[in-house]
Each structure stands twice: as C-alpha cells, then as structure tokens.
Amino acid sequence: MTEFSAVQLSAIQLPPLSLYIHIPWCVQKCPYCDFNSHAQKGFIPEVEYITHLLADLKQDLLRYHSSIAKRKLHSIFIGGGTPSLFSAQNIDYLLNQIKQLIPFEKDIEITLEANPSTAESERFMGYVQAGVNRISMGIQSFSDEKLQKLGRIHNAIEAKSAVVFARHSVLNSFNLDLMHGLPNQSLAQALDDLQQAIELAPPHLSWYQLTIEPNTMFAYRPPKLPDDDELWDIFEQGHQLLTKAGYQQYETSAYAKEGFQCRHNLNYWRFGDYLAIGCGAHGKLSFTDGRIVRFSKTKHPKGYMRGEYLYEEKNIPVAERPFEFFMNRFRLLEPVEKQQFEFLTGLAQSAVQKQIDWALEKKYLSETHRTWQITEQGKLFLNELLTEFLPE
C-alpha cells in the first residue's frame, strides 16, 4: 500500500456513458438474494414509479450537467427485482421519455432483466417493440428440484420455452444467468445444468457460484453447499465445456460468443461512467476538471416515491483511484491499456509503478510497453493484488 495524495492530477478523458434503471419489485424474495428487491404485495404502482424515475433523471441531468452535457447514452440496463413485471407499454413510455432527455447512440444496447415465468412470448415482443434489444433471463438451473430450493417461481420447461422464443426473436442478443455450487449439487448435476444451457445456444452466459450473503434467508438457515474441492472441479470442468462450445470467458463469471459481450457491463469494468436512477441504484461520473463522483439513490420505495432520490454522493479521493480503477479492470481478462489508466484516473503511470513492479515480481501481472495483463496466478490471489493499490 502507498500514499498517492501528492501525485499531480491531469485532466480526465470522459469514457462512455451508460444508464442503470432499478425496478425493485419481484413476485417473491429468493432465499439467496441480497439485491435491493421487494416482494410484490398486490398492485405495483408502475406509472407512479416511472414518473419518479424520470424526475430522478432530470435532477441528475441538472446536478451533473457539466459531466453529461453533449454526451450520448452508450447503453441502458433495466435491472431489479423483476423489471419484466412492468408492462411493455410502460417500458416503452419510459424509454421514449428518457430519449427526450438525453440522446442515444445509434447502436445503443438496451437490456432488460426478466424471469422466465413473467417473460411470456407476448411480453417479449412488446419489449422489443419498445426498444429493448437484449434480454437477461434469470434461469439459475434446469433442475426443478434445485429451482424450488432456490425459491424460483419458474420450472425447467418454462425456462427452455422462454429461451427458445428469445433465440428466434429479433433481439440483438440475450443472456442466461446460471448458478453452480447449489445446495447438495453434485459435479454431474452442475455440468448437466451447464450442458443444457449450452444446447440452447445463448449468445451470452453468466455462470456464477452461489454464495451465502448476509441478511438473506440462506444466511439464517444455511443449506449444505459443495466444498472447495468440489467447487473447483465444477468450475474447471465447466470452463472446459464452455470453451469447447465456443464461449470466451471475458469477465470473472461471464462468457460470450465472439462479439456478444455485454456492452453495459464492459463499461462498468472498464471504469466507464453511468447514471443511475431508481431505488438503491449506484452511479459514477467523471468530469473534465479531474473530479470523479460516486452516488447512490434512496433504497426503499416509500422514501424514493416521496421524491427523496439522492441518498449519498462522494468524490473519489485521488488516493483511492488506483484501487477503484484496478478493482474494476482486473475483473476483465482483457489487457489493461496503460494509457487508459492515465486517461480515466487523471494519474500518471508513475503513481502506481511501485505496486506494478511488486505485482510483476510476484507474477500476478505481465506487461508489454502498452499494457498490463492479470495472470492466472494474479486471478488466484486477486485480493492480495488489489490490496497493494489501497492507500495507507
């Protein structure tokens, strides 16, 4: 760890600008979920909530005008909760109103999260007509037994039907969320889940390990999960299956066919900028004068829908920027352009040279004259690597 406060800042080059929209309601809360979501209790105030989302965005456009002016939206991600509980008509209205406030790039990626049980064919078509060109489906497993243990409200047949429809729609892309390391899951069961997903040929697959998070039902009543050796076997053999099927791992838990990486998530991990509206949403914006701001919105719908949008805002201190940058960038497996570090943090490479030299000696990184690249060793000891970039 080192001291960065004396380092001279230079101007920041503005990265792509994305927008995250949080819709907090779902049919029921899953026992593993620690996201800001609330089980649906009767009527969901769709129109009222959308009115607040747009008011929230207008406030941000005024508050952060010097960062946002003359920029276009690179991507939009509508997450939750279960955004597909909202009607296609209301999603259409929301997107049209946003476009009136801030222009879209010509090839903007617009993703909407959906559950197979709420994403019927009719709704899919409506979302596409509204401008959504990418769907992310929370499948999690193709085993009805595992789905029940995870508290999911769909079954394997519904999941496969939704995927088949997505594959034959005019969507640019779609993603399947799939978990491994499930309660009492064997290696064979985990690989069978993955094989069934591969056979459905999604352009993008998020394949991640179930972890027990604080303040969830699983934290209070922990299920029996595979041990570390079993988890390693699942990952190693699953990774081989995916690679053989033509999927490239480009992020810790994300695999895609060539050209189908999620542009929105890439912007997160490349230390890009993103507006954020909705309950508990988190955003980050850069300014050409050298400031970088992070902010978050009020978590609970009651407070948010009283018009109390902004919860917290803070400038990222110079001393914390190397850690913030590499914490994001080392999630991606692509090389880190050294120049991008300078452009996006306002710091010279010399600010982190001591840490880079240490990481090279430990074989956590390799480098060329233009790039730094995390190694297999670095991935295994990622926490130790990142800790080195923390300020004293």
Give the pLDDT confidence of 297-337 residue by residue, as tens digits: 999 999 999 999 999 999 999 999 999 999 999 999 999 99
Question: At 358, which helix (H) or strand (E)?
Answer: helix 353-361
Of 54-63, 95-104, 205-214, where does mean pLDDT reach its minimum? 205-214
pLDDT of residue 42: 79
Does residue 195 lie within any of the structural domains?
yes
C-alpha distances (whole Å) from 280 to each of 190, 302, 311 are 33, 12, 8
> Among the three residues 223, 246, 267, which one is the final residue of a domain in this structure?
267
* pLDDT one-digit tens code per residue, 149-180: 888 888 999 999 889 888 888 899 999 999 99
How many domains is the chain built from?
2
Does residue 217 lie within any of the structural domains?
yes
Confidence band (pLDDT; 50, 70, 90) for 118? low
> Among the three residues 247, 267, 287, which one is the final residue of a domain in this structure?
267
* pLDDT one-digit tens code per residue, 364-378: 999 999 999 999 999
Residues 242 and 134 occupy one common structural domain: yes
Tell me the average pLDDT across 281-308: 96
Host domain of residue 387: 336-391
Does residue 318 lie within any of the structural domains?
no
pLDDT of residue 244: 98
Does residue 297 lie within any of the structural domains?
no
pLDDT of residue 27: 82
Does residue 293 lie within any of the structural domains?
no
> pLDDT above 70 covers what percent of the chain?
96
* pTM of the model as a whole: 0.94
Residues 29 and 132 occupy one common structural domain: yes
Tell me the average pLDDT across 34-42: 77
Residues 74 and 221 occupy one common structural domain: yes
> Which residues 6+ apart lie within 8 Å of 215 measured at CB?
34
Residues 162 and 258 occupy one common structural domain: yes
135/132 Cα distance (integer angstroms): 7
> Among the three residues 213, 232, 267, which one is the final residue of a domain in this structure?
267
Tokens of 232: 């390693």
* pLDDT one-digit tens code per residue, 125-152: 899 999 999 999 999 999 999 988 888 8
Does residue 300 lie within any of the structural domains?
no
CB 18 within 8 A of CB 273: yes
Residues 50 and 197 occupy one common structural domain: yes
Residues 240 and 341 occupy one common structural domain: no
The pairing of strands 365-367 and 273-278 is unpaired
Confidence band (pLDDT; 50, 70, 90) for 5? very low
Tokens of 114: 């959906």
**Does residue 115 have a pLDDT over 50?**
yes
CATH number at residue 110: 3.20.20.70
Q: What does R_g of the chain's alpha carbons equal in angstroms? A: 21
Residues 170 and 21 occupy one common structural domain: yes
Tell me the average pLDDT across 251-275: 97
Higher-scoring residue by pLDDT: 97, 1: 97
pLDDT of residue 121: 59
The one-letter amino acid at 199? E
pLDDT of residue 4: 45
Residue found under tokens 């499948």 = 139
pLDDT of residue 2: 46
